[in-house]
Homo-oligomer: A and B are copies of this chain.
Amino acid sequence: MVVSALRNDGARDEVALGAALDLLQERFGSRFTRGLEIRRQHANTTTWLPNEPADAVVFAASTEEVSEIVKICAAHRVPIIPFGTGTSLEGHVNAPKGGVSIDLSQMNKIVAVHAEDLDCTVEAGVTRIQLNNFIRDQGLFFPIDPGADASLGGMAATRASGTNAVRYGTMRENVVRLTAVMADGSIVRTGSRAKKSSAGYDLTRLLVGSEGTLGIITEVTVRLHGLPESVAAGVCSFPTVEDACNAAILTIQSGIPIARIELGDAMMIRATNEFAKLGLPETPHLFLEFHGSPASVAEQAEQFAAIAQEFNGGEFASATRPEDRTKLWQARHDSYFAVKGLRPGDTIQSVSTDVCVPISRLAECVTETSADIAANGLIGPVVGHVGDGNFHTQLLIDVTNPEEIAKAEAVISRMNERAIALDGTCTGEHGVGQGKRKYLVKEHGHGLDIMRVIKGALDPLGILNPGKILPDA
């Protein structure tokens, strides 16, 4: 008989929950806790969404242990929330229905590096910086950089990307295969290490981006890349966002294999000027990075310089020495804290939005969004991975001011709907979590029904990270 902590009427059965927690406590001892502090650390900590802790946290050490935990939870219908580093931005790790948070950070072994095949297999808790430190000596690197030192399992679960997705792709393109624990505790290893395959349904990519709602990713095999022989950085000012976007479009269209192409708007530049005394012209800028042989990098930089001129770009400065590159990119690197400096205060929270549109609609989307922010008296500079049509505004909101929160929510809502109306998405790389669920109705239409059918088939008890991705019916 299945006893159920998650009742169909929405109420909790504390007896069933208690029974499951007792079993977990007995099995995992000191790696199990009901302490509030730990539980709060394992719930949302990074945005204005409320912190909703699970009833307990278990630290798992292997795929088999995760399977054991899931089997106990499934037998008592206890919700399960996978936890990597807790750096997600949309409440992915909250436990709105309680349950058990499974912390995977102790699963941090690098299982195998296949340098000849340019791939490696790691446990879900390995972070990207840990991996890059490990493989650097072999002349290899893992390119995906979402900013935070996130775990590879979490990055796969949220389909993360970042500044150099324009060249190297996102987790969608870079996860070769994975191991996951499904809702019944069974363990599946998807795909193979072959670079391509036509052998049946793409379970790997079904699980990538499923945010722990279809299975718990416990191991991933990811693609690696050879460290580029030469790297050049560059920066260029433009009179308008539109000029900067047009330069980005032509760069991509010309087939320049640009590694990064980042937009900062005038307000972002002003913030970094104040923060780091930079003296940049306070207009939109593009920050660029080129990877390749020395000759190819030089050629790319030259080609970009010509494109920039076509779109009224200022002087294009580029450099290949690491210290010079850092200087050119300083404004971009500092942007998060620099922007926070625009409005200091304990009650001011930085809220990051994340839309992605076809690149031809990018200037329009950025410009309208910035105008909306200004019209509402809010502060929200723009940084963007413009090669992909993806940009963020960093809204600085006084979270003690309900009127300001309402204004910000309305601005964000219009921004997401604007992106969807422009054939884009309400989230380029942050994921849905709790925060973006309501926008999926408009974005996916009937696709959302199909997602629900898949969810119902693979997690019939609804215990895997409930309250995420799919809006309440």
Contact = CB atoms under 8 A, between A and B. Distances in A.
A249 B192 contact: no
A469 B195 CA distance: 20
A208 B425 CA distance: 20
A456 B454 contact: no
A388 to B, nearest CB: 5
A189 B296 CA distance: 40
Interface string A155-188: 0001111000100011011000000001000111
A299 interface: yes
Given A206-B206, A423-B192, A199 B358 contact: no
B195 A389 contact: yes
Given A116-B360, A187-B446, A358-B114, A197 B253 contact: no
A428 B205 contact: no
A356 B196 contact: yes
Contacts of A455: 201
A384 interface: no
A196 B450 contact: no
Interface residues of A, number: 96
A30 B254 CA distance: 47
A436 interface: yes
A381 to B, nearest CB: 22
A225 B254 CA distance: 9
A358 B117 contact: yes
Interface in A89-133: 114-119
Given A194-B428, A196-B356, 9 more contacts: A114-B360, A116-B358, A116-B359, A194-B424, A196-B428, A200-B444, A201-B214, A201-B469, A228-B255
- What are the nearest 7 A-B pairs in CB distance? A457-B457, A116-B360, A197-B425, A205-B205, A194-B356, A193-B423, A117-B358
Interface of A: 114-119, 158-161, 165, 169-170, 172-173, 182, 186-203, 205-206, 208-210, 214, 225-226, 228-229, 249, 252-255, 257, 292-293, 295-296, 299, 303, 356-360, 388-390, 419-420, 423-432, 436, 439-440, 443-451, 453-458, 469-470
